[in-house]
Amino acid sequence: MCKILRFGQMVEQLGVSDIHPAWEKDWTISQATYPGRKNIPFLASGFFEQVNHDLKLSDLVKEAYDIALNIVNESEALSALAWHCHTVLFEQEDFHYELLKNWIDLEAAMGEHKGMFAMLVFCSAIPKLKDFYQRKGIPNDIFVDTLHDVQIWLDHYKYEYGVWGLKELSWLIAHFKGKLFTLGRLQFAFCNFYNDVEVFRKYDTGELMTLAGHGARFRADGMVDGTNGIFDEQKGWMSSLIIDDDLIRTNTVIRNGAAQYDEKAFNLKQWQCILHKGARIIDVHIPEGSKLQEALCSDSLFKASAFFETYFPDYHYHVFGCNAWLLNPQLQKILPQNSNIVKFQKLFQLFPILGNNKQTFDKVFGGKPKDIANAPQDSHLRKAIVQHVLAGNDMHNGAGYIVKGDWIRNNENDEI
C-alpha cells in the first residue's frame, strides 16, 4: 500500500509558497485512489507515443515531455499532484475553474520544465476523450483537428518563455472534456449565453429584434458604458426591458452593433424569445490558421449544424454566438467591405459588450505597441488600426449571434 501524502506535506515538499485554496478541495478524495508513483498509467513509459498518434507533436516536444515525465516520476509529491489533477479535472464532471485560473507554480520542483506538468496532466485525458468520440461515432479526423490546438498553445509558450509548456488551461479544458470541436475553419463549443441581451423573432415574418437587457448602461455612442475605461455620465442612459402580461416594453434597441435609445412596445404574442441570458447556445471560436474566408466559415457553420444535430440531438439551441475582437463594428468602417473580416462580421447580428483593446493588440501586433505611431503598418489590417487609433479612436471587442435555422434556410442553396 502506497503512502498517502497530506495536502500540506505535498505543498511543503514541492516548495510551493503560494497556492489557491481550490487546490486543496477534494485532495483526500483523489488520494484515496492514488496508486503510487510507479503505477500511474499516464505516467508510464510509452503512454506519450500512444496519445501522440493523434496529437502529432514534434520530436522536440517529445523530448521536453520525457524530461518532465522523469522529474515527476522521481517525486512522490509530484506524482500525487498529477494524480490529483487528473482525478479532479477529468474523472469528475464538475470542477472549480479557480484551479485552472490559479495553476500551481512548480518552479522550485521542476525549474524551467514546470510548464510541461500541465501537458502531462492534460494528456492523461486523451484515452477517455477518444473513447467518448468513438462511442458517439464522431469521426477521428475531428478528434485530431480539435487537438491541434495543443500544438498552437505549445508554440505560444515556447515563443514567450523559450521552452515548451502549456498555460492556456482554462481554454484547453473544453477540448479535453469533449465540450469543443473543430469543424473546418471554425471551432464550436457548448455554452450558456452570458451577455445581457435578449433577442425576439416575429412569428409571422421572422423579423429579429435585439434588445438590451434590463439595467445595462450605455454611452451616447451606443457602446457599453466603461468600454475602454470611458464612461458617459452626462449623455449615457440605463436600459429598461419590462415584460408585463403580453407586452414587451423597452427603451434600448440594438442595431448594427450599437445600442440606440428608442422607446418601443411590442405584443409578446407576436414574438418568440430565442435568446436570453443563460440560454443554451453554440459558441463560435476562430482558431489561428488559414485566412478567414467567407466560404470556409460558411462551410464550418453548415458542418456545425449537422454535427450537433447528429451527435448531440438532445442539445437544443437557437443561435450560434461569438465574442471576439473580430466582431468590433468599427472594423467595418476602417476595412474594405470585401475584406474577410468584414464578410465574417456580416454573418452575425452584432451587439456591444464591455471590452478593451487588449485582445486586438495581442492578436494583431503580438501585444500593445509602446508607441502606436511607430507600430508596424505592414498589412492592411495593421495600417487601418494604427491610423484609426492615431485619429483619436480606440479598439475593443464586439459580439454577435447567428440564428441557426434562419441562416441555414437563407444559405442552403448557396454554393460553398
What pLDDT is recorded for position 3? 74
d(CA 87, CA 371): 47
Q: pLDDT tens digit string along 240-257?
A: 999 988 999 999 999 999
Q: Is 107 helix (H, G, I), strand (E, B) or coil?
A: helix
What pLDDT is recorded for position 409? 63
Residue 191 CA, chain-centre distance (Å), reads 10
Residue with cell 456591444: 352
Max alpha carbon distance in the chain (Å)?
71
- Considering Cα of 366, then 372, then 378, then 384, what sign does the dihedral take? positive
Q: Is 350 helix (H, G, I), strand (E, B) or coil?
A: strand
d(CA 355, CA 333): 19
What pLDDT is recorded for position 49? 95
Averages of pLDDT over runs of 10 residues in the chain (416 residues) are 85 95 94 94 96 95 97 97 97 84 96 98 98 98 96 95 96 96 98 96 94 96 97 97 92 95 94 96 93 92 96 97 96 95 95 96 92 94 96 96 78 51
State the pTM of this model: 0.93
Looking at residue 229, its amino acid is G
Looking at residue 103, its amino acid is W
Residue with cell 466560404: 295
DSSP string, 39-61: S-GGGSTTHHHHHHHHH---HHH
What pLDDT is recorded for position 354? 96
Q: pLDDT tens digit string along 154-170?
A: 999 999 999 999 999 99
Measured in degrees and rounded to the nearest 5, phi and psi for residue 196 equal: -90, 65
What pLDDT is recorded for position 413? 52
- Cβ atoms 62, 56 nearer than 8 A: no
Give me the residues paired with residue 252 across strands: 261
